[in-house]
Structure 1
Amino acid sequence: MSAAIDKPHVFDVTTERFEAEVLQKSLQTPVLVDFWADWCGPCKTLGPILEKLAGEYNGGFVLAKVDTEREQQIAAAFQIRSIPTVFLVQGGQLVDAFQGALPEGQVREFLKHHGVEPVPANDEIADAAPAAPVDPHAETMRLRKAIEAEPDKAEHKLDLALALLQTGAAHEAEQLLDALPANLSTDDRAVKARARLGFAGLLQNAPVPEVLEAAVAADPGDLRARHLLGVHRLVGGQSEAALEQFLEMLRRDRAYEDGLAKKSLIDAFRVIDDEDLVGRYRRKMSSLLLV
C-alpha cells in the first residue's frame, strides 16, 4: 500500500513533512490525504482507486498517504476514528472528507464537486493550438474599423466597449454601453461590463500597475496598493491575478476598511466569466473566513 516511487503524484507523508508536503502544497494543488493501514481490508480496495485517479488526473491533485500505524500523531490530529478516511485539503484548509471504500465513480464526483479536474498530458497540450493573448489596444483598433465598415451592427459596439474597458478607457466604454439597443443592453456581457465599470471608476487618478507592484513588493502589508493593483488586474482581464490580490488582502486583514477584501472578491465573482476560477476562489475565501 505504500506509495510507489514511479507514481509522481502519490507519496507517503510523515509528521515531520506534513506541513510542507500537504498544507503548503495545497496552496497550489489540491491534496487528498488518505488515512490507511496494512490490516484494513477496505483500504486495499480504495487505495488503488485513489492511486489510479492521481495518475489519471496528472497533477490535478496529489495523493498523500498516511499509514495510521506509523504516523499516529497525524491520525490523532485529524481525529481518525475509522479507516479508510480521506480528506481534501485546498488552500491550506480542510474542505471536505469521506469515509469508507467509495467506488471510483463516487470518488470522481467528490473531486468534481470541489472543482478538481484532470490536467491534460503534455502531448495533448502540444497538440492543442494555444490561443494567443489578445492585445486590447490592437483589438480596439480592429473593432473601430469594423464599426466603420458596419455602423449598424451593434454587436461590434459592445465588443469595443469590452475592449476599451481593458485599456482603461472607461468613459468611452460607458458611452457605448449606454447607446446599446435594448436587446443588447441586457446581454450578460453588457451586464458584466457595467459591473466592471464600477471597478474602473476606482482607478481614476490611481497609480499605474508598475508603481503599485513596486509598493506591494516594498511593503506586502500595503493593502491600499494591493487593492488598486487587484482592480487594475481585473479591469485588464487578468482575473486570477486580481482575485489573488484580493485574497491576500483577506489573509492579512479581513477587517480592513469595513471588509473591503471580502467585498472586492464578491464583486469580482460577479464579473468574471470563468466559473471554475470563481468556484475555486469562492472556496479559498470561505476557508479563510472560517478560520
Structure 2
Amino acid sequence: MTSAQTRSEHIFDATTAAFEDEVIKASLETPVLVDLWAEWCGPCKSLGPILEKLAAEYNGSFRLAKIDVDAEQELAAMFGVRSIPTVILISGGQVVDGFAGALPEGQIREFLTKHGVQPGEAANDGTAEAATPETAEEAINRLQQAIAAEPERAELKLDLALALMRAGNVASAQSELDALPANLATDARAVRLRSQLELARALAGAPSLEALKARVQSDDADWEARDLLGVRLLIEGEAAAGLDQFLDILKRQRDWNEGQAKKRLLAAFTTLDDAALVSQYRRKMASLVF
C-alpha cells in the first residue's frame, strides 16, 4: 500500500492504509495533530491555513495530518466524528485531547502549549526544557478558573469533563457531559467520553478481575461474568482479550441482555486508539452480525 501523500516536511495527507505507521506509531516520537476536514466545510477553510501555518512555524515539534472525511470515511468513523472541523492530538500512540470548530490561532497555541508542544526553536535551543504536560488535577483547577471567568465558553466545560474523567471522577465527568449544549454533545471527544463513562459505570460494584476469571472458568456460559471480564480487561489495558470476551458472547448468545455484546464492542471501538486493532475487530464483529 502507498504511504500518506506528503504536502510538506511537517504536513501530510493521512490515509487509512498508512494511518497506523504514519500517525499512531509516528506519534511515539513526535506528536501528531489530526485535522479532519472536507472541501465543502466553510469553517475548515479558515482553520486549515492556521494549522498549516503553525505546523511550519513549530518546525517539527508536531506534524499535521490532514484527513479529508469524504475520502477517508473509515478514519472519520473510527474517531466518531459528528461535526467538522475536528482536530485531535495524538501523542505517545494515544489520543490525548482535541477540539471541534475553527478556533482562533491564539487558542490553538494555548492548546498546544497545554500539552507541552512548543515552537521548534524554543524547544531545541538548549536553554529551556520542554513544558511538562499538566496533570488531570492541574487541568481541573485551570479549567474551573477559566469557566468562572468566561462562563459563556461552553467548550471549556467539555475540556473539564475530560479532565475529570482523567482524574477518575466519573460522576462529576458525567454531570459535566450531560450539561453540554447540543452542538458539543456530538463532538468527537464527547462521544468518546460517553463511551468511556459507559464502560466505567459497568464496573461499579463489579467483582475483581481474578473473581471474574474464576466465574468464567467455572461456567463458560456465565454471560454476565464474561461481559464484566471483557470490560475489566479493556480498562486495564488488555484490549484484545477484552474484545474477545464480547465477541464470544456475540457468537454464542448474540441476543443476551438485548444485544449488549455488540453495544460493548461499539463503545470499545470509540475509546481505543489502536486503529489497526479496531479495524481487525470491526471485521470480526461484522462477520458475526451480518
User: Larger relative CO (CA 8 A, sep 6+): 1 or 2?
Assistant: 2
Normalised-by-shorter TM-score class: 0.3 to 0.5
Q: TM-score, normalised by structure 1?
A: 0.43
TM-score scaled by structure 2?
0.44
